[in-house]
Structure 1
Amino acid sequence: MSGPSNEEDDFAVQNTPGYKITQKKTVDEYAKLDAEDESLARWKASLGIVPGAASAENSGQPQVTVHTLELVSPTLPAGKKLTMNLDDKKPQEKPFTIKEGIEYNVRITFKVHHGISTGIRYIQVVKRAGITVDKMSVMLGSFNGNPNVVQTKNFDPEESPSGMLARSGTYHVRSRVVDDDGQVFADWEWSFKLAKDWE
C-alpha cells in the first residue's frame, strides 16, 4: 500500500508535448526583438509591447492578480450569483450549494499588471473526505501587462454529480493560478456541497 501523495504533486505544471519554455524576457527585450521587421513592430505596438514599457515592472505591484471566481449556470434562479470576491482576502464563510445534475461552468477574472506573462493557467483540485475526486487544469493564456484591462475566462461547461452519495459531505477545493515557470500568482481554498435544488 502506497502512502499519500504529496499535495504539491497535484499542482505540478504539466507542459504541453512539443512546447518548450523559453527564457523570460522583459517587455523592453521583446520590443527590441526583430526591430527591423515593420509589420511585426506594428503588431507588437498594438499589444503595448514598445521600448521603454518595462518601467512598470518594478512598481511593486504583483504581476497577476485574480479578482473573482464565479460558478455560472443557466439553471440558477434569477438574481442568484455564486461569486467569490478574491479582493476581499477573506476565507469563504460557508460552502456554495450547487444543484445536482446541472450544467455549469467556472468563470474567472484577473488582471496582468505588468510584464509579459506566458502560459498562465488555473489548476483546481477537489477533495472529499481527504480523497482527490477531481482535478482540472485550464490554460488562461499569455498576456502583456495592462492594469486597465480585466481579463475574463469562461471554462468549458461541466455537469455536477448527482445521487445520494454525491450529496453526502462537503467538497473541499484548492485553486491556484500559475505561469509556465510554476510561479504562483494566487492560491486559495473554498468548498461546495451538492443538493437536490438551489438554496
Structure 2
Amino acid sequence: MSMAIGALSGSKIMGLEDNRANAEREQSLMANGAEEEKSRDNEHGSEEQRLNREMSEACLYGTEEEEDEDAKGSVDLNSVEENLEPEVKILSLSIISPGRPDIVLQLPVAPNSKGVWFTLKEGSHYRLKFTFFVSNNIVSGLRYTNTVWKTGVKVDRTKEMLGTFSPQLETYTYETPEETTPSGLFARGSYSARTKFVDDDGKCYLEINYTFDIRREWPSTSS
C-alpha cells in the first residue's frame, strides 16, 4: 500500500514537472517570438528612417544646387571695378656722409636747372637715402638707376633694387650701401647725371637730370 501510494505520488510529481517544463517551453517560445517581432519592427523602422533621410538629403542637395545656380546668375558685373595703378611719389633724396650734416635734396627739381645741385669731396664715403610714398596699389620691383657722365663720356652707371612696397599712410625710407667718390686730379670737376625710379612694369615715377661737382674739399657750410 505504501509502495503504491509512493508510486502514485511519484507519478503525480513527474506529471507536474512535465507540465511545468511544457509551460516554460511555451513561455520561452512566446518570448522568442516577441523578440523576433520586435527585431522585425526595429528593422522596418530603420529602413523607413533611412529612406526618409535619403529623401531629405536629396531635397537638400537639390536646394543647394538651385541656390548655387541662383548665386551664379546674381553677380553684378557693374560692381566690379578695375584695380588702380600704383602711385609712387619720391619726396626727397639725401646724401649721408660720416661726420657731415646730411645733404637733403628737395624735390621736384626745377626744370632745365643749370645750377650745381650738390658738391662732394673727393675720396669721401657716402650713402644715399630715399624717402617716398606709395598709394593706390602695390608697387612691384621698384628700383633706382643713376647714370653719370663727365665731359660727355659715361663714367658710371648704378642700379639698385629697392623692393616691393604696399600702399600705406606712412612714408618709406631706403638707404643704399656705402660708396666712395673718386679722387685725384682727373676725378675732380663737374659731372652730369640722370636718376630714374621705375618698377617691374617699366613705369617711371621720377626722372631728373642734374649736375654735381667733386672738389678737393667739402663746400663751406657757414652762412
When the two structures are superposed, what TM-score results if normalisation uses the length of structure 2? 0.57
Partner of 1:159: 180
| More contact order relative to length (CA 8 Å, sep ≥ 6) | 1
**Runs of at least 5 residues in structure 1 that lack an aligned partner in the other structure:** 1-53
The yes-or-no answer on 1:97 pairing with 2:124 is no
* SS of 2:93 mapped into structure 1: strand
Q: Does the residue aligned with 2:187 lie in a helix, a strand or coil?
A: helix
Aligned twin of 1:81: 102
Equivalence for 1:192: 212
Indicate the residue corresponding to 1:67 in structure 2: 91
* 8 Å Cα contact 1:70/1:84 also seen in 2: yes
Identity among equivalent pairs (%): 32
1:129 aligns with 2:156: no
TM-score normalised to structure 1 length: 0.64
2-side partners of 1:140 and 1:93: how far apart? 29
Larger helix percent: 2
Q: How far does residue 94 in structure 1 lie from its aligned partner after superposition?
A: 2.3
1:76-135, Cα deviation, whole Å (9 max, x unpaired): 2xxx43221114655474241111111101111111111011000001001111111111
Q: Which residue of 2 aligns with 1:24?
A: none
SS at match of 1:163: coil
1:176 aligns with 2:196: yes
Alpha-carbon contact 1:175-1:188 (below 8 Å) kept: yes
**Per the alignment, in what secondary structure is the counterpart of residue 84 of structure 2?**
helix
Q: What are the superposed Cα offsets for residues 149-188 of structure 1, whole Å, 9 maximum, x if unpaired?
A: 1111100000111111111x31111000000111111101
Are residues 88 and 56 of structure 1, via their aligned partners in 2, closer, same or farther at CA, if it must alter by over 3 Å?
Answer: farther
The DSSP-based 3-state class of the residue aligned with 1:165 is coil
- Cα RMSD of the aligned pairs, angstroms, is 2.3
What is the rounded CA distance, in whole Å, between the counterparts of 2:109 and 2:192 in structure 1? 20
CA change 1:110–1:92 in 2 (3 A) is farther
Distance change in 2, residues 1:89/1:149 (3 Å): farther
Unaligned ranges ≥5, structure 2: 1-80
CA contact (8 A) 2:97 2:127 kept: yes
Q: Does 1:145 align with 2:167?
A: yes
Q: 2:128 matched to 1:106?
A: yes
1:58-79: CA deviation from partner (whole Å, max 9, x where unpaired) = 7xxx701111111110032xxx
Give the Cα separation in 2 of the matches to 1:154 and 1:182.
22
Structure 2 counterpart of 1:115, one-letter code: N
Matched-pair contact (CA < 8 Å) for 1:84–1:92: no
Is residue 123–residue 135 contact of structure 1 (8 Å, CA) maintained in 2?
Answer: yes
Find the residue that maps to 2:218 and give its secondary structure. Answer: coil
AA aligned to 2:177 is D
Distance in 1 separating the partners of 2:129 and 2:114 = 17
Q: Secondary structure at the match of 1:164?
A: coil
